[in-house]
Amino acid sequence: MIKGIGIDLIELDRIAQSLKNSDRLAKRVLTENELEIFYSFPLETRKVEFLAGRFAAKEAFAKAVGSGIGKLSFQDMEILPQEGNAPVFRATGYQHNRIFISITHSRDYAAAQVVIEADNTMHN
């Protein structure tokens, strides 16, 4: 059973401008594991895409949950690549849910969609 659906879109320019000043946004949005991946990219454009995609995905998750960022921390959500580089979303307190995620980039935008499915084996 679907518990929530969320989507978010962000301009890459906004992220690029923020990164020109400092990496504060990256440290706020990304977990330690995600930061390790972020810092491994040699090209600034790839760093922007990565951070924007993670930002959009975490915002989309918060929308799917219905709480928004604020009640959820960016640090409570993590998106790491699995086999074939497909992103896998994990969130504290949502281990008993299946979380489907899609992240995409264009020249100007990053977008993400999240679907949260309740675990049918859970009995309430």
The set of catalytic residues is: 63, 105
Which 3-state string (H, E, C) describes the chain?
A: CEEEEEEEEEEHHHHHHHHHHCCHHHHHHCCHHHHHHHHHCCCHHHHHHHHHHHHHHHHHHHHHHCCCECCECHHHEEEEECHHHCEEEEECCCCCEEEEEEEEECCCEEEEEEEEEECCCCCC
